[in-house]
Structure formats: C-alpha cells, structure tokens
Chain A
Amino acid sequence: MLVYSLLAGLLFGLYFSLIGLGLNLVFGVMRIVNLAHGDFLMLGAFLAFWLFTLISLNPIPAIFIVFVVFAIVGLPLYYLLVPRLLRAKDPEMLSFILFFGLSQVIEALATIAFGTSERSIPGGELGRAIVAVASLLTGHHVENGPVDIFGQTFPAAWVASGIASGIAVLLVYVYLYRTRLGYLTRAVMVHREEAIATGINVHRVSAIAFGIGLGLASVAGVFAPFMLGSITPAMGVEVTVTSFTVIVIGSLGKPLGTLLGGIIYGVSYMFMQSYYSSWANLLPYVLLVAILLVRPSGLLGRQVRRA
C-alpha cells in the first residue's frame, strides 16, 4: 500500500506539475495571477474531446494541435488584457479580479456550448498510443492495458500523462535555459524595468510566455479526462485552486519549482487517500496555509530571486 501510494503520488504529482507549470510561468514573467488558468485547461480538454469525437483523433497527437491553438489564442489575449493591467498601481491584486471575471465568462460560455454533463474520452485511447510507441521501440507487439512499474500496476493513461508531463517540464527548462528567447524571458522575470532599460521587447517576450502558459494549461487538459475522471465546464475553478497550491509550494515565479510542488502535492494526496481518505480534499488548503506560514516564498523561494 505504501509503495503503491508513493508511486501513484509521483505520477499524479507529475501531472499536477504540468497543470501548474503554465500558471507559474505567467506569474513569473508578468507577476499576475491567471485565475482563469483552470478554465483554459477545461477548454483544452473539450477541444481534445471534440477532436476525438468528431474525427477520432487520438489524444496524443491532439496534444500538439491543442498546444498550438491555445498558444496562438494567448498572444492577442495578452495584448488585450495584460498591458493595461500592468499600468495599474497594483496589477497583482487587479489580476485576481480581472481573471476571476474571465474565468466566470469562460465557464458560462462553455456551459452554453457544451452543456452541464460530464464528458470523457475512452481510457484505452492513451494506452493505445503508448502501445504504438512501445511496439515501435521494442520491435515486437506490446499489449494494451495497465503498465507495470516496480511490480505495481498503473493505468496506462497515468503513465502516459506522467511521461508527457515530464517532457513538458523538460521542454520548459530547455526553453528557459537553452534558447535566446528563454534568456530574455528570465531577464524579464528577474527585473522587468531593467529588462525594458536594456532594450528587451518586454511585451513580445511576455506575450509569448503567456501563450506558452495557456498552451501548457490546455495540454494538461488533454489528460484531464483520464486523470480527473471526466470533464465539465465547471471544473476550472477547482483546478485553479489546486494548481495555485502546487506553485506556492514549489515557489511562485519559479516555473521549474512547480515540479517539486506537484510531486509533493501528488504524493501527499495519495497518502491522504490511503490513510485519511475523508480528509483528502482538504490537503491543498492545508498545504497552502502551512507553506505560507512556514516558508512564504515556497520551498525553492530563495533561488527565485537569483534566477
């Protein structure tokens, strides 16, 4: 039970790292809290659902379409909302209000468009993609079904989600630390005014980061029907709260700290489910309060200032 909870927590935590990654990137670059983050995840989930329903597109290739669509949507949305917000006296606080409003609008429109009922993609679809890749790599046929890790069996969808989340974290790392745009992004994260003074096109850099943030949220949405049971237009708020907890644990403004936050959240959640299941959903709030009391800057907080 202990080992299973630990491994399940790692996989679940990796998924929550992916969920929080975009939110933290946006906060790190713009110092605004996107409270509509969970709603973009929900929209990504519905796009993947409709791609599967209408043209039978497997969720794995759908990831790329969904990411590109939402990254592109993020660019004009940035220019529409964020520059005005940043001119305000307290953009951080105002961002709460503005994006909360946006969240409500998205949820209402999604409810009108998609209805209120739960929707999902068959669980075997992600497994099918894994089987195809595994068969290609090993050169022989691999059965579709649960995956064995250290003698413990997990749904293929969880493993696929864990792998995709790991790849996403890696790509964000490569983007931030191995590309020119990433250097510029980190410069804006460290000090926005100085970045402007050195001639960096801060709005361009921020708009791209905003688009990537939305794209990452939507990619997490592709896995939502498998990791969160089903999807509904109302799921966004709950997701936003949990992802906010994850990034606070890791450290607000440090995207890669999200990995640590996600894993701590995932492992803690699975242990809670095993030993104190009735209280499991209190965990995000308890962790949030505990981190804010003990280490307000998050577990990797100090390093953020030096990034």
Chain B
Amino acid sequence: MTRHAIFAGLIASVISVATTAPAADAPKEISLGTLYASSGRFASISMPVHYGLKLWIDQKNAEGGVFVKAFNKKIPLKLVAYDDQSNTATAATLYNQLITQDKVDILIADSGSVLTSVAVPIARDHKMLLINQTGTGATFFTPDNPYIVLMADPVSSVWPKPLADFITHDGPHLGIKRVAILYATNDFTGTQANAVRKFIKESNSDVDIVFDQGIPTETSSYTVLLNNIKASNPDAVIHLGYASNDIAFLRNVQDSGIKFNFVFCIYPGLETELLEKNVGSKGLNYVFTYVPSSQIAYQSQFGMSLNEYEAAWQQKYGNTNVEFGFNSVAGYTTGLVLEKALAAATSLDQLELRKAIFSLSGNLKTLDGTFALDEAGAQIGEITPLGQLIAEGDHVKFVTVWPHDVSTGKPIYPRP
C-alpha cells in the first residue's frame, strides 16, 4: 500500500513537473529587435512600416501578448527599436547591437532594400533569422542562406512581371514597341530593372528596349535625363526608383512639357497619398503603377480587414505626418505572419522559427494577399497587379489593367 502510494506520488510529481516546466521556463516577454529611419532618404518608406509593426505589437500586448506554442501561453511582446537615420553604416552597428547586446529573440530588418542589405550578412553570421519586411533585392536570397525570409513584398525579380507581361502582350496591340527604362542603381530598383529587361527579352515579342540607363538613388534632377529619353523616341517609359525619385521624376515630366504616351512609376501606387501631395492628381493622371494591397481588399484569414486597419491607423497615427499606404500595410502584415509563426513554432530556435514561417507558405492569406515563399525565403506571392491612375478631383483612383482576370477597366493609351 505504502509502496503504491509512493509510486503514485512519484508519477503525479513527474506529470506535474512535465506539464508545468514549459510555463516555468517561459520568458516574461518576447523581444523583437528592429530599426527604423526617422530621418533621411528612406524615412518616408521606413516610418509607415515601423508604425504598422508597432500597431500590431500594441494590439497584441493589449490582449495580453501573443500566443507562443513553445510555451503554450500568451507572452507580451517587447519592442527594441533604434533609429538608423537612413544610414547604412549606422544600421550595421545597430543590427549588431540588437543581436549581441540586446540579445533579441526575433530580428526584424528596417524597411527597403538599402537598409536591409547590411542586415543580411550580419544575421547570417550570427545565425539569426532575419525577418525581412520589405527588402526585396533578389541578391539577398540564396539557397545556402537559411537565415532570411521576406514577409510583406514580392521579391523584386518577380514583382515587375505584371508590368512586363502587359507591355509584351497588350503593348504591341496598343502600339508599344519601343521601351525606355530609367532606374535607380540600388538592390530594390536595380533588381526590378533586371527583371523587366529579362521578361521583355524572353517574351520574344516585338518590343525593343531603346533606352536603358541607371542613375544614383540620390538623383533629384531629371530634366536632362527626360530630354535624353525623349530623343530615343520611346512608346513607353518605365521609371524605377524610390518615392523621392518618383516625385522628382513626375514633377520634371510635368514641368518640362515633354509628353510620353506611357509612363510607369512604382510609388504612385505604393504611397499614393504622398505622391498626390507632391505631384498632384494632374501629374499622376494616366500614370501606370502597381496596384498595392492598400487598394485591394484582400480577404485576410485573421487580424483586421483593410478598412478596420486603416481606421485603427488613422486613430493612432492620424495626427502624425506619416501617410497610410502600402508600406503601412506591410508592417502590419509582418506582425500577422509572425503571430502565426509563433503559434506554430515548437521553440524560439531561429531555424525552428524559419520552419514555422515556411509552413505558412501558400496556406496563409493576409492583407497583402497570398503569403508564399520560394526555397530561399523570397516572397513569390503577394504579387501586385498593374494599374493606371485616373484623376478625380484632388485624388486619383486605380484602374487595374493586368492581369485581365482581375482588371477593372481598359488602359488609356496614349496618355492624353
């Protein structure tokens, strides 16, 4: 009897320890380390992403934290964020600090390819999984590097496919046979230029590239470049740059009086409100651009709907000078994917986190569309259709023109 009682007690103790041990080991908080740029060239694309991520963190903490499967409980999130001021050297130091000094559980890159580029080798050296929010440069993703995953934008090597497909399929019928490409020489837009070039060449269509020139990302004066493009007599002009590039480019097009039949820029779609303020609806009229997630109400499987998210954003950040747009959705999407990953990962080990994120590939729909990764961690879902902007008063509306199965109208070519 006594022996039985002792044995039963031992069993009970073992079971008790086995069930309570993970909870006892659970950290008080999960630390997320990231950078943002409050000033400098990339501030206008960094702050919306950062604010989007922060909004998700604040929401989760208000609910008592995020559910972590490894500890079978909700754990609060702690954000450790430093300002890199758009400086890559500062960013490199701060990424190291997040890993070696702050010892964060999850490392999240700043927005954009330029400020992500320095994080890629650092994360790899320290065997930390880099949660890459919007750094879409294709060179970041190699089969031998398991420590990176792209969360909220398609990788630049596939992103411009709708644009190139439209030009090579519908273009010749509309009269587009000569294309000019002007691009900023950074990982983001340089990769997009390579992709457009490759897609056009591989299409075996009648479309020729008659102007193909790279410029520094810091370029702010386009008058001479526009004149040179005009001299090549293109039917379509593709400008690939950051928001500040697009603003200067489109303002110069407007002021110079040069008329192009087809103009494509990236940021009128991604940061529409910002471009409306700087270029005006008249300057954006008939411009082709990507139709981003902030314009298409993708049915997210969880989290807020687009309208709810925008309302929450305006309530929290409406008084700041940071505009709602594609990048603000990207930051929130990063949070949603992380939430799902933490709910699936059996530990906080970096490769286990990667495995959990990869398990979502193809099975998760967020505000950015279908989350899908290739084997190197590059985002190949979340593809943005091609659209054309039409002025309506002081604002512009999107007309999706490619792919045909999602189009909402016909393209207007040539630009009136």
- Seen from chain A, the residues whose Cβ lies within 8 Å of a Cβ on chain B are 1, 4-5, 8, 12, 107-108, 111, 114-120, 122-124, 127, 145-146, 152-158, 226-230, 232-234, 238, 269-270, 273-274, 277-281
Contacts and interface: CB of A to CB of B under 8 A. Distances in A.
Given A117-B274, A281-B219, A1 B214 contact: no
A119 B247 CA distance: 9
A234 B227 contact: no
B256 A154 contact: yes
B247 A1 contact: no
Given A116-B47, A118-B243, A118-B247, A153 B257 contact: yes
Contacts of A278: 185, 213-216
Contacts of A124: 255
A137 to B, nearest CB: 22
B278 A234 contact: no
20 contacts: A114-B321, A115-B321, A116-B37, A116-B38, A116-B47, A117-B43, A118-B278, A123-B254, A146-B256, A152-B227, A153-B256, A153-B257, A156-B255, A158-B223, A229-B251, A234-B85, A273-B221, A273-B224, A279-B216, A280-B219
A193 to B, nearest CB: 41
Interface in B225-256: 225, 227-228, 231, 243-245, 247-249, 251-252, 254-256
B224 A8 contact: yes
Given A108-B39, A118-B243, A281 B216 contact: yes
Contacts of A154: 223, 256
Interface of B: 37-41, 43-44, 46-47, 85-86, 185, 213-216, 218-225, 227-228, 231, 243-245, 247-249, 251-252, 254-258, 274, 277-278, 280, 320-323
A172 to B, nearest CB: 24
A244 to B, nearest CB: 16
A118 B271 CA distance: 11
Nearest to B227: A4
A229 to B, nearest CB: 3
A115 to B, nearest CB: 2
B39 A228 contact: no
Contact of A111 (B38, B228, B248, B280): B38
A227 B220 CA distance: 8
Given A4-B224, A155-B257, A278-B215, 4 more contacts: A116-B39, A117-B321, A120-B277, A229-B220
Contacts of B219: 273, 280-281
A71 B40 CA distance: 27
Nearest to A122: B280
Given A108-B39, A117-B43, A228-B248, A1 B221 contact: no
Which of A156, A157, A230 has the most C-beta atoms of chain B within 10 angstroms of its own C-beta? A230
A1 B244 contact: no
A28 B147 CA distance: 55
A207 B82 CA distance: 40
A111 to B, nearest CB: 5
A119 B278 CA distance: 6
A45 to B, nearest CB: 13
Contact of A118 (B185, B231, B274): B274
A196 to B, nearest CB: 41
A229 B255 contact: no
A115 B318 CA distance: 12
Contact of B248 (A108, A119, A230, A269): A230
Contacts of A277: 213-215, 225
A60 B351 CA distance: 60
A259 B216 CA distance: 26
Contact of A274 (B44, B228, B274): B228
Contacts of B223: 8, 12, 154-155, 158
The 6 closest A-B pairs by CB, nearest first: A115-B321, A229-B248, A116-B43, A155-B255, A146-B257, A281-B216
Contact of A270 (B214, B224, B245, B255): B224
A122 B251 CA distance: 8
A294 B278 CA distance: 42
Nearest to B280: A122
Contacts of A279: 216
B216 A117 contact: no
